[in-house]
Structure 1
Amino acid sequence: MRDLFKNVRFWLLIILVILSICLIHPSISDGKFQTNLNFGLDLSGGSYLRMKPDAMIIGVDLPTSKEESVADYLEKKLDTTVTPVYYGGEERYEVRKIVEREKLEEILGDAGGHLTYYDLGITKETLDQTKRILEDKLNMLGVKDIVVRTMGDKYLVVDLAGVNLSDAERIVSSPGVFELRIETEGGETKHILYGDDILSVDPMPARTGYGDDAPWGAGFTLSEKGADKFREATVRYGAVDAPERHPISMLLDGKEVYSAPLSRELASHMRENKSYGLVAQTGIGEEGKKRAGDLIIHLSAGALPVRLSIDMSGQVPATLGEQFKKQIGLMIVLALIAVSLITGYRYKRHEIVLPMLITTFSEVIIILGFASMPRIGWQLDIPSLAGIIAVIGTGIDQMIVITDEVIKSETPTGSKTKKKTKKINAPKREVVRSRKGYERGLSNAFKIIVVSAATTIFAMAPLLFMGLGKLSGFALTTIVGVLIGILVTRPAYGEIIKETMASGR
């Protein structure tokens, strides 16, 4: 057994368990057991909102002039944003409001056209953009424990743990407050304008020069009043003469999201003239492009690409969530007891059963530690904890395979044939214990369990990536558990059982 304490796989398991316990950080506060685990609304109580976009995708056959495109004509007639999109293998149009089919037919018929396709909804790209803006908006409002997910290509679902239904509806519908400020002498800042003075925001990041090394930027246009306010502030506080000493800051809900001085060219221009179109440079490369995309969201002050209407809502009382949490915890304990009874009955050797159970418990601790990592943002819900129970079952199954293969690798003394004979009161069989034989058994076992793990991961992948609601939590837990098992806990258990058998215990 001394060789076990020199084994890297064994110590990797120990280190990860200790690190996971530190991440979970169990403690007692005000007489209550506390951890860093984040629980979903079905375990901690809260509200959920299912929202659908008020938009549609249409196909039209419409003769147009060179001066006016189909999108321009539809925007004028429908008084909303219309974007050409490639949808279903054809060029169609995304309309950011819902218009009855009969009214559309009438509008198109007046221009000699007709409707070729009509469907409520938006493209996946617009849905993902809406999800990202909504997440950013809720984060800027300081809302914790939120999950925004897509359901198919028709709905967005928002889970707000610990928030009642009326507050949830208010939070989702409230706009952000965007503000421009300028730094004055002494490090103070003065107000320039609010977001309602921004007439429009460019929908996508754009380069502010020529070539691949040109910086990225977020473009926006000021209204007449906004341009007057901007020039007045920059002249009054000296930004046109010393731009580096008077940077312009952008704040969303009181939090700074961007700060930079006027460029020399813009400062010189604004001594005598006002500017309507401005561009905030954000840097070069992919990082600069990402920052520009984020800034576009902030400039929109949380405005979504499409209007969302609440299709379904509900809430889970906190007391019911606590009850679910206790029941799931009890189920996990019962699962561990059940597997201990089954493995104990099969092997009747504590030196095999105890390492198996300890390894299984360690695997659960590592999964929970992974879920507690700050940047992961993983909320544990009922499907996720059901995934842990599934991982316990698959883990025990794979450790049984390892144990059986190691036991089979023992060579009976004086035996040269596989023929079995039935003897009454036969003496206990003596075996030759060989580390090479045990390693051969481990190799055979890992060939089996690697294939088993791969099939499980491939089976769970569609649930994870197809946006099938809460089933993705079950799939994520199962995949993470299988990967932790195949990379950490199974190899460690293999070394433990090999050393146990080799020592003759």
Structure 2
Amino acid sequence: MIDAVKKHWRIGLLVLVLLASTVVLFAPQFAPDAGAEGIAAENDAEAQGLTNLQFGLDLDGGTRIRAPLVGYTAMEVPFDGADPATVASEVAAELPETTSSDVNAELRSQEDGGSGAVEVTDPDVSEEQFESALAAAGYEHDGIREGVTEETREATINVIEGKINEAGLSGGSVREIVDASGRSFVLIEVPGEDIESVTSLIEERGTVRIDIYVPGGSDGNGTVERGVLTQDDFENIGTATRTDQGGSYVPVSVIDDAPEGEESPAERLQRTVQEADSAAGGGDDWTCTEDYTESSDPCLLLVVDDEVVNSFGMDETLLGPMLRGTWVNDPGFRLTTGAAEGSFERAQQISINLRAGALPAELGDGSASFISPTQGEQFKFYSLIVGVLSVFAVAGMVFLRYREPKVALPMTVTALSEVYALLGFAALVGYPLDLAVIAGFIAVVGTGVDDLVIIADEVMSEGEVNSRKVFDSRFRRAFWVIGAAAATTIIAMAPLMVLSLGDLSGFAIFTILGVLIGVLITRPAYGDILRTLLTER
């Protein structure tokens, strides 16, 4: 038994790989993980069907958005010893309608006082205006290109991923791709969602802040203390929650520490509340009317994208500790969105914006496509039909070629085992199957059968194989040819795998994996099978 295992270890390795693929494909332990915000794992498993395979938009339906990031970048800007924040603020000062958050400077070299890149992400700023602002601020440059820096692209991708995850959209992905001209795009794919839903989630910059309205004033119209809290001032952000009365809120806590000598965000909010309460004449609580401008008490204003979405007061349990100066010891409260229709969805959006943050740059004009789940199911069915037809076509041609079942049948089974092993790998790493990946599978079947035909022809071309020594000599000659062909395929496909060229990457990855599995596992196993069937000594 042990001798047989040692003699046919290549066949044993193939069987082991197929068993491992079976476990990965069907065992519940390898089922896709649950999505964010409490999406149940069993729902994901049900959506995936009998196997643990995941499907891309082509086969499952969903939205794909491909768009560049809006902005301009000035290259090789001498900083002359100034820190990047100073450079950014000075350039922003020359763009009156642009805030400092829309201008960013990145230090790239420390030589000669430092130099780097300066970018503007305000969509209303033209290239000419940006160039004029750089000149007015006293900064030279080595040219301005359309687009943003790599750092901004990475930050934007991270923010969009955060928005998708916080919204509980299981299976969504965001990555950077580059077209043939070298232009960078952000590719967003979200299964099961329509274009409008995905666009509304990601296109807005999603800024959230807390203002305080103080009634009275010299003109009697009241004043607004703006930006008492911004997105960066929140520490812990809870999920959107419904109340028993039909309202919705997001529980939050505020950062309560700061560098020595500076005021923390919690201390700033507490101080501003004390000043507003004093200006309004004081009281045990703040009662805010639906129209905050008509309120006789101060109001906290929840502002999303510069629009007041809700105004709310504070009862004694929150206002009292603030006025006594003890609230900073436990700086938490609720951002309420009222009880009107859509308040819970607004609370969800606020939670997403606070957790994920604002996009560093806006998405520009690009392309968006939607594949309905029905169409995706049709693609699955047609892909299965094409796969079955390919199997029968390959098997039929092999049988016609050799007329010997002991040669043709192992060849067909071995070729299909490569595809089965690739499916197991896809399930193991959670790689979504799409039409490009299936095309890679078909390419693997084609190249695999070609190699197996080379082996069979080389072994049987010079007449009957009368000994294992003769078989091994002929098999080695065939394997050199197969190895050279595999190396050529890998070299040709490698650029497609490493470059960000969208669907072509999946095609290249699985073609290369199939070639490697073939050379390292299935071709040697087929050689062992033929040796056993064709030789007696």
Decide which of 228, 233, 236 is 1:180's aligned counterpart. Answer: 236
| Whole-Å separation in 1 of the counterparts to 2:354 and 2:135 | 36
Q: Match for residue 165 of structure 1?
A: 195
How many angstroms does 1:65 deviate by?
A: 8.6
How many angstroms does 1:96 deviate by?
A: 3.4
Summarize the alignment of residues 240-255 of structure 1 with structure 2, pairs less than 5 Å apart. Answer: none
Indicate the larger mover: 64-73 or 77-86.
64-73
| Whole-Å separation in 2 of the counterparts to 1:344 and 1:226 | 82
How many angstroms does 1:70 deviate by?
A: 3.5
Q: Match for residue 145 of structure 1?
A: 171
Q: Deviations over 1:226-256 (max 9, x none)?
A: 6869xxxxxxxxxxxxxxxxxxxxxxxxxxx
Decide which of 74, 84, 99 is 2:91's aligned counterpart. Answer: 74
How many angstroms does 1:377 deviate by?
A: 2.4
Decide which of 147, 152, 155 is 1:126's aligned counterpart. Answer: 152
| Whole-Å separation in 2 of the counterparts to 1:317 and 1:63 | 51
Residue 319 (str. 1) matches residue 374 (str. 2) = yes
Give the conservation status (yes or no) of the 8 Å contact 1:53–1:306: no
Q: Deviations over 1:277-301 (max 9, x none)?
A: xxxxxxxxxxxxxxxxxxxxx9973
Give the conservation status (yes or no) of the 8 Å contact 1:56–1:120: yes
Residue 302 (str. 1) matches residue 318 (str. 2) = no
Query: What amino acid maps onto 2:69 in structure 1?
Result: P
1:221 and 1:438, CA in 2 relative to 1: closer, same or farther beyond 3 A? Answer: farther
Give the conservation status (yes or no) of the 8 Å contact 1:56–1:94: yes
Q: Secondary structure at the match of 1:445?
A: helix
Q: Deviations over 1:407-439 (max 9, x none)?
A: 24x6x6xxxxxxxxxxxxxxxxxx461111111
1:317 and 1:407, CA in 2 relative to 1: closer, same or farther beyond 3 A? Answer: same
Summarize the alignment of residues 7-46 of structure 1 with structure 2, pairs less than 5 Å apart. Answer: 7-25=8-26, 34-46=50-62
Decide which of 487, 505, 510 is 1:477's aligned counterpart. Answer: 510
TM-score normalised over the length of structure 1: 0.67
1:299 and 1:166, CA in 2 relative to 1: closer, same or farther beyond 3 A? Answer: closer
1:63 and 1:434, CA in 2 relative to 1: closer, same or farther beyond 3 A? Answer: closer
Query: What amino acid maps onto 2:176 in structure 1?
Result: T
Summarize the alignment of residues 336-375 of structure 1 with structure 2, pairs less than 5 Å apart. Answer: 336-373=391-428
1:130 and 1:487, CA in 2 relative to 1: closer, same or farther beyond 3 A? Answer: farther
| Whole-Å separation in 1 of the counterparts to 2:430 and 2:436 | 16
| Whole-Å separation in 1 of the counterparts to 2:27 and 2:530 | 30
TM-score normalised over the length of structure 2: 0.63
Q: Secondary structure at the match of 1:53?
A: coil
Query: What amino acid maps onto 1:104 in structure 2?
Result: F
Give the strand-richer structure, 1 or 2.
1
Residue 106 (str. 1) matches residue 106 (str. 2) = no
Residue 498 (str. 1) matches residue 523 (str. 2) = no
Q: Secondary structure at the match of 1:372?
A: helix
1:60 and 1:201, CA in 2 relative to 1: closer, same or farther beyond 3 A? Answer: farther
Query: What amino acid maps onto 1:161 in structure 2?
Result: P
Residue 453 (str. 1) matches residue 486 (str. 2) = yes
Unmatched runs of 5 consecutive residues or more in structure 2: 29-44, 110-114, 209-230, 239-248, 272-324, 330-351
Residue 379 (str. 1) matches residue 405 (str. 2) = no
How many angstroms does 1:173 deviate by?
A: 4.9
Q: Secondary structure at the match of 1:144?
A: coil
Q: Deviations over 1:454-505 (max 9, x none)?
A: 111111111111111111111111111111111211111111111111149x
Decide which of 119, 122, 126 is 1:97's aligned counterpart. Answer: 122
Q: Secondary structure at the match of 2:169?
A: coil
Query: What amino acid maps onto 1:317 in structure 2?
Result: S
Q: Secondary structure at the match of 1:49?
A: strand
How many angstroms does 1:401 deviate by?
A: 1.3
Give the conservation status (yes or no) of the 8 Å contact 1:4–1:495: no
How many angstroms does 1:151 deviate by?
A: 1.8
Q: Match for residue 56 of structure 1?
A: 72
Q: Match for residue 310 of structure 2?
A: none
Q: Secondary structure at the match of 1:379?
A: coil
Give the conservation status (yes or no) of the 8 Å contact 1:85–1:94: no
How many angstroms does 1:393 deviate by?
A: 0.1
Residue 400 (str. 1) matches residue 417 (str. 2) = no
1:221 and 1:377, CA in 2 relative to 1: closer, same or farther beyond 3 A? Answer: farther
Q: Secondary structure at the match of 1:36?
A: coil
Query: What amino acid maps onto 1:433 in structure 2?
Result: N
| Whole-Å separation in 1 of the counterparts to 2:82 and 2:423 | 61
How many angstroms does 1:109 deviate by?
A: 4.4
Q: Match for residue 106 of structure 2?
A: 84
How many angstroms does 1:336 deviate by?
A: 1.4
| Whole-Å separation in 2 of the counterparts to 1:484 and 1:475 | 14
Query: What amino acid maps onto 2:14 in structure 1?
Result: L
Query: What amino acid maps onto 1:135 in structure 2?
Result: E
1:128 and 1:495, CA in 2 relative to 1: closer, same or farther beyond 3 A? Answer: farther
Give the conservation status (yes or no) of the 8 Å contact 2:465–2:471: no
Query: What amino acid maps onto 1:48 in structure 2?
Result: R
| Whole-Å separation in 2 of the counterparts to 1:59 and 1:367 | 44
Give the conservation status (yes or no) of the 8 Å contact 2:59–2:435: yes
1:300 and 1:164, CA in 2 relative to 1: closer, same or farther beyond 3 A? Answer: closer
Give the conservation status (yes or no) of the 8 Å contact 2:162–2:355: no
Query: What amino acid maps onto 1:50 in structure 2?
Result: R
Query: What amino acid maps onto 1:42 in structure 2?
Result: D
| Whole-Å separation in 1 of the counterparts to 2:174 and 2:151 | 15
Give the conservation status (yes or no) of the 8 Å contact 1:179–1:193: no
Decide which of 265, 282, 296 is 1:223's aligned counterpart. Answer: 265
How many angstroms does 1:354 deviate by?
A: 0.3
| Whole-Å separation in 2 of the counterparts to 1:192 and 1:316 | 34
Q: Secondary structure at the match of 1:39?
A: coil
| Whole-Å separation in 1 of the counterparts to 2:369 and 2:257 | 35
Q: Deviations over 1:89-120 (max 9, x none)?
A: x8432333342123234334445666642222
Give the conservation status (yes or no) of the 8 Å contact 1:26–1:34: no
Give the conservation status (yes or no) of the 8 Å contact 2:237–2:354: no
Give the conservation status (yes or no) of the 8 Å contact 1:61–1:115: yes
Give the conservation status (yes or no) of the 8 Å contact 1:347–1:353: yes
Q: Secondary structure at the match of 1:142?
A: coil
Aligned residues: 390
Identity %, equivalent residues:
31
